[in-house]
Amino acid sequence: MTEVAEVAESPIYPFSRDMRCPFAPPSAMSGLRRDDPISRVRLWDGTPAWLVTRYDDVRTLLADPRLSSDVSKPGYPHLGAGVGAAQKTFRTFLNMDDPEHARHRRMLTRAFMVKRIEALRPRIQEHADAAVEELASRPQPADLVAAVALPVTSNMIAELLGVPYEDHEFFQERTVVLGSGSADVEESLRASEEVQDFFRTLVEHKRTHPGPDVISHLNSLQDDGEITLTETLNTLRLLLAAGHDTTASMIALGTLALLQHPDQLAWLMADPGARAAGAVEELLRYLTISHFGRRRIATADIEIAGRVIRAGEGVIAANDSANRDADAFPDPDVLDLGRDARHHLTFGFGTHQCLGQPLARVELQVVYPTLFRRFPDLRAAEPLDALRFKQTSVFYGLHDLPVTW
């Protein structure tokens, strides 16, 4: 087959999931991993891209500096029209390459380092305790996303950044639009501008009311000429969005997965102090909420596993598929909270690996045990096929999770 014909006949990515197995990646992935691990796909707008599905290849490519994260390069594999347009209007270090990326990321590493986040564990516990009591006070069935998942994660990221929690509805709603693969251009650009204005006001306010928070830290870096105002605003909106919606999705989806696997839940709750950290890694692997792959564009020809990715071609490193590769995780479709899953790729790999992973980890390690200790008889109030999964969002999860106890 000629290359042109190969592209024209290639399947459209993202593939749909089989919602009878809402925790599994699309079933097409396992066939590709076996037969065509670096394959041709087309995106929503016809743009061709390479889809990489095996664990070793995904890791190799994500560590390769010849792959760029620059969304403004022609041929970059955007998830959708709205996401693409919004990403182009605000440039963050998520979409920069080294050394520029590293310079920006370094400004924030202290705020999110493991030691600092560990010190916040008691505070995270306070928010988790308050959230489960809030859930208990609601009439049944109550929505776990609104009562627990979003409040814990939004409170924590708001405190770290110096954003008033009272504004949570505003920023949660805009984050949903900006992370939606199906939002249109106009809607995304409007949300983008509103968030920019929100932070402009806040950054100005913090100049006269500084605190031990990230906004004040970035303000002082601005004074030293290290970062511009626009870069500050862009960084803050990345942190606020990435810092709550992601882990909230993981709280809700992880809770549902535990409810669907009562033996695993019982194992976890028999000794959460010793088991929660490992269990969280396995839930992260099994659910891979960062489900649309890490997207890159090649800046030079790259030979890998018998294929040549040409300069200018888009690459989707499918970390959801990699996390189900039997060569990296025996019996990959089994949720086994006792396994060592720490090498999963849910937080990405390489230079862009998630900056907020220490925070996400501690939040999850605290929330699941707190929730199931308080509600040992927690149940989903709807069957699986009636639940609303976030299928087109950048991060997979649930729009809401009605529960009873």
Residues that bind ligand HEM (CB under 6 A): 69, 93-94, 105, 238-239, 242-243, 246-247, 250, 289-290, 294, 346-348, 352, 354-356, 359-360
In whole angstroms, the minimum distance from the beta carbon of 150 to ligand HEM comes to 13
Rounded Cα distance between 100 and 102, Å, is: 6
Structure tokens at 219: 């303000």
Task: Kindly calculate the radius of gyration of the chain based on its CA atoms and give it in whole angstroms.
Answer: 21
Could you tell me the smallest distance in angstroms from the CB atom of residue 246 to ligand HEM? 4
> How many other C-beta atoms are found inside a 10 Å radius of the C-beta of residue 11?
12
CA of 320: how far to CAs of 214, 226, 289, 344, in Å? Answer: 31, 36, 8, 9
Q: Return d(Cα 220, Cα 170) in angstroms, integer.
A: 26
The residue among 190 and 399 lying less far from ligand HEM, judged by its C-beta, is 399
Give least dist CB 132 to ligand HEM, A.
19
Residue of this chain nearest to ligand HEM (CB atom): 356
Q: How far is the CB of 137 from ligand HEM (least distance, A)?
A: 27
Distance (Å, whole) CA 396 – CA 287 = 9
Closer residue to ligand HEM, CB minimum distance, 247 or 365: 247
CB of 188 to ligand HEM, least distance (A): 18
Tokens at 25, concatenated = 């990646």
Residue 310, both tokens: 């040409």
Q: Which residues contact 57 (CB under 8 A, 6 or more apart)?
A: 37, 38, 304, 305, 317
State which residue, 7 or 277, has the beta carbon closest to ligand HEM. Answer: 277
Q: Which helix (H) or strand (E) holds 359?
A: helix 357-374
Query: 168 or 190, CB closer to ligand HEM?
Result: 168
Query: Considering the complex, what minimum distance in angstroms separates the CB of residue 30 from ligand HEM?
Result: 21
Q: For ligand HEM, give the closer residue by CB, 79 or 238.
A: 238
Tell me the closest approach of the beta carbon of residue 202 to ligand HEM, in angstroms.
16
Name the 3-class secondary structure at 228: coil
Pairwise CA distance, residues 35 & 27, whole Å: 13
Report, in Å, the least distance between residue 238 CB and ligand HEM.
5
Nearer Cβ to ligand HEM (218/271):
218
φ and ψ of 398, to 5 deg: -130, 135
Of 264 and 346, CB closest to ligand HEM: 346
Give Cα separations from 228 to 132, 395, 399 (angstroms). 41, 29, 36
Our CB check for ligand HEM shows the closer of 127 and 352 to be 352
> DSSP letter at 26?
P
Nearer to ligand HEM, 157 or 381 (CB): 157
- Amino acid letter for position 165: Y
Which of 292/372 has CB closer to ligand HEM?
292
Quick check: helix, strand or coil at residue 302? strand
CB of 107 to ligand HEM, least distance (A): 11
Strands (E), 239-398: 294-298, 302-304, 307-309, 314-317, 379-380
Q: State CA 80 to chain mean position distance.
A: 17
Provide the CA 387 distance to its chain's centre, in angstroms.
20
User: What is the closest distance, in whole angstroms, from the C-beta atom of residue 361 to ligand HEM in the complex?
Assistant: 8
Q: How far apart are CA 250 and CA 242, in angstroms?
A: 12
| CB 253, CB 149: distance < 8 Å | no
